[in-house]
Structure 1
Amino acid sequence: MANLCDLSAIDLRRLIATRQISPVELAQACIARIEAVDHAVNAMVTRSFERALIEAKAAEAAVTRGEALGPCTACPSASRT
């Protein structure tokens, strides 16, 4: 499988819905990518990795319970605030 960070949000959501990957796995891949490249691009003002993992674990629990996925369940994002 390609690096998760290189897949589209549509593909990521499908992989999560079919339990081929977990939201936690995706969050960890995104964190690893940020740590690998941000020194060169300096795009991340604030890193909220702990919060991201907490939210990914909550999403994973919802998937495990069979709850419907929200439209942005697999949409890691960054914003400057």
Structure 2
Amino acid sequence: MYIDVNGTKQWIHIYGEDIDNPVLLYLHGGPGPATSDIDYAFTRKWADVYTVVTWDQRNCGKSYEAKQKCIVLTRELFMTDERK
């Protein structure tokens, strides 16, 4: 699903067997290419122990927006997104 983060649409995928399990947040290690197309292949094995959340960070993978291509991706910008 898409969520609003700091005024941008960003893609997350949430799954697991029990909503009461602890959350495991998987980040693809951006900036750079996202891994959302292959995440499930290796993160699904954790779904019995965790509620898994995979996140395509700003301007990566399914969160890419051409209108933001001029925005410089910095550590500070990613950290601001993560706090929202």
The reply to whether TM is greater than 0.5 is no
TM-score by length of 1: 0.32
The structure with more helix, counted as a fraction of residues: 1
The structure with more strand, counted as a fraction of residues: 2
